[in-house]
């Protein structure tokens, strides 16, 4: 079993729809949860960063973490064609060297249709 599971999609939605992207994980040591957006042939861009269970909102984006279920979500409101990209979830845990170990999901490809 992979430490982080993410549906690769593709997910196609009409412009203006609410998008829900999800990841599950198996390692209860993960403490920090991130969402990255990656456009084709570009580096990932950090969108959201959360620590505790609950919701965090930033503009049209809401990140949700449920540690008891080992489940995280990213919601995109009023989706736009420019949101079309691959969305990667990532999780981290501290290491003995004082840094962090990061694990990424495989990414979900999203296409927002105009």
Partner 1 sequence: DAGVTQSPTHLIKTRGQQVTLRCSPKSGHDTVSWYQQALGQGPQFIFQYYEEEERQRGNFPDRFSGHQFPNYSSELNVNALLLGDSALYLCASSLRGGNEQYFGPGTRLTVT
Positions touching partner 1 (CB under 8 A) are 4, 6, 8, 32, 34, 36, 41-46, 49, 88, 90, 92, 95, 97-107
Shortest Cβ 12–partner 1 spacing (Å): 17
| CB closer to partner 1, 16 vs 28 | 28
| CB closer to partner 1, 65 vs 88 | 88
Can you tell me the distance from the alpha carbon of 58 to that of 46, in angstroms, rounded to the nearest whole number? 12
Shortest Cβ 32–partner 1 spacing (Å): 5
Can you tell me the distance from the alpha carbon of 107 to that of 95, in angstroms, rounded to the nearest whole number? 24
First to last CA, the chain: 37
Q: Where are the beta strands (DSSP E) in 4-60?
A: 4-6, 11-14, 19-25, 32-38, 45-50, 54-58
Shortest Cβ 114–partner 1 spacing (Å): 25
Shortest Cβ 42–partner 1 spacing (Å): 6
Closest CA to 103 of 22, 11, 32: 32
Residue 61 parent element (H or E): strand 61-66
| CB closer to partner 1, 42 vs 77 | 42
| CB closer to partner 1, 107 vs 112 | 107
């Amino acid at each position: 079993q992979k430490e982080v599971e993410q549906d690769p999609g593709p997910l196609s939605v009409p412009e203006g729809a609410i998008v829900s992207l999800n990841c599950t994980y198996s390692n209860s040591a993960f403490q920090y949860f991130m969402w990255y957006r990656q456009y084709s042939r570009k580096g990932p861009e950090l969108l959201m960063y959360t620590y505790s269970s609950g919701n965090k909102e930033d503009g049209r984006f809401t990140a949700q973490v449920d540690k008891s279920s080992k489940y995280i979500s990213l919601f995109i409101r009023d989706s736009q064609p420019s949101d079309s990209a691959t969305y990667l979830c990532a999780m981290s845990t501290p290491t003995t060297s004082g840094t962090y170990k990061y694990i990424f999901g495989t990414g979900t490809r999203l296409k927002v249709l105009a």
